[in-house]
Amino acid sequence: MAKIIILGADGQLGSDLVKVLADSSHQVVPLTRDNFDALDSLAVSKFEQYGDIDYIINCVAVTNVDGCEDNVHDAFSINTSFALKLAMFCAAHDITLVHLSTDYVFDGNKTTPYQENDLAAPLNIYGLSKYAAEVGISTYTTKHFILRVSSLFGVAGAAGEGGNFVTTMLRLAREKDSWTVIDDQITCPTHTLDIARAIVALINQQVTEYGIYNCVSSSSCSWYQFTQDILTMCGFDKNKVQPISYREYKFKALRPQYGVMAVDKLAKYYQMPTYQVALKEYLDLKFAE
Ligand SMILES: NC(=O)c1ccc[n+]([C@@H]2O[C@H](COP(=O)([O-])OP(=O)(O)OC[C@H]3O[C@@H](n4cnc5c(N)ncnc54)[C@H](OP(=O)(O)O)[C@@H]3O)[C@@H](O)[C@H]2O)c1
């Protein structure tokens, strides 16, 4: 049995981790903003009160990619500095750190799936803040797992408030006859429940092959294709959505147009499902609520 702290336990991924670990024999300490503020310089040292800890899983982040361009301070304070302080704390207390990163560490110029050791070249502040955390964590502590995830959907929704890309598309399907979605940005939409299961698999198998792991669905699509799948699975006409190009959309922050990541390394410990299987399970859970 391991003692595990979950930081950001009420977020989209954090809440699925709490659910998956509730069915385990591990002792879980779920912490939210009510218990600590990542912007507090003493936040990390306060974790000593929880005694001998085996794992800290850091789901805390600023995830608003365009917002990070305007709020560089919070992006680096929470996504980078807090993660580095955690890494130092974990090294000093012999704790394994599980940290979440992103496909946005890449520039998207490849045309075949990114491997863990491909060169990072972030295009925006969010990606840079997450990549800086990766470098800092691997510098300061050996016992770490950095899981690169992408395009998350989970029952709790972003920041635990119910919303994500899937719920937005379903709202548009109810409200509109037609709308546009990007067809030339390729990603691996991933259910947070599958990431939670992968993390628990690493813990249960007491894996010591530390380092970076890609942790995304094992199939990929454009956002437009993903929307068509969502509409079809929920009984809407998939032709309500029209394709638009990335260039026409005009995001504030640049994004990688190709964010597909290979999951062969993780498959030794956990086999990620295709996004189609993951979406079906998510919809079943969401509408059973
Ligand atoms: N969402 C995606 O599509 C995506 C894609 C790639 C990578 N990722 C990475 O995956 C991880 C999990 O993402 P997610 O979608 O589960 O994020 P999320 O739902 O936005 O959860 C983030 C958590 O961080 C907490 N938090 C933010 N600022 C805090 C602060 N100052 N002090 C304490 N807690 C704070 C939030 O609490 P409050 O709700 O109280 O603010 C929330 O619980 C993150 O590392 C993210 O960068 C996400």
Residue 74 CA: nearest ligand 1 atom is 31
Which residues are within 8 A (CB) of 115 and not within 5 positions of it... i.e. 6 or more apart?
Answer: 214, 261, 262, 265
**CA nearest ligand 1 atom 12, residue:** 59
Q: Give me the residues paired with residue 167 across strands.
A: none
Provide CATH code, domain 3-155+188-218+260-273. Answer: 3.40.50.720
Q: In angstroms, rounded to a whole number, what is the distance separating the alpha carbons of residues 126 and 252?
A: 12
Q: In angstroms, rounded to a whole number, what is the distance separating the alpha carbons of residues 263 and 92?
A: 31
Given its phi and psi angles, is residue 56 left (phi above 0), alpha (psi -120 to 50 degrees) or beta? beta
38 lines ligand 1 (CB under 6 A): yes
- To the question of pTM greater than 0.85 for the whole model, the response is yes
**CA nearest ligand 1 atom 38, residue:** 159
Distance from Cα 240 to the centre of ligand 1, integer Å: 31
DSSP string spanning 81-116?
IHHHHHHHHHHHTT-EEEEEEEGGGS-S--SSPBPT
Would you kindly state where each structural domain of the chain is located, as residue ranges? 3-155+188-218+260-273
Task: Give, rounded to a whole angstrom, the gap between the first and last alpha carbons of the chain.
Answer: 31
Q: Are 132 and 198 in contact (CB under 8 A)?
A: no
**pLDDT (0 to 100) of residue 288:** 78
Residue 192 CA: nearest ligand 1 atom is 16
Distance from Cα 59 to the centre of ligand 1, integer Å: 6
81 lines ligand 1 (CB under 6 A): no
Q: In angstroms, rounded to a whole number, what is the distance separating the alpha carbons of residues 76 and 198?
A: 27
By three-state DSSP, how is residue 237 classified? coil
**CA nearest ligand 1 atom 42, residue:** 11
How would you write the pLDDT of the chain (289 residues) with one tens digit per residue?
A: 999 999 999 999 999 999 999 989 999 999 999 999 999 999 999 999 999 999 999 999 999 999 999 999 999 999 999 999 999 999 999 999 999 999 999 999 999 999 999 999 999 999 999 999 999 999 999 999 999 999 999 999 887 677 899 999 999 999 999 999 999 999 999 999 999 999 999 999 999 999 999 999 999 999 999 999 999 999 999 999 999 999 998 899 999 999 999 999 999 999 999 999 999 999 999 987 5
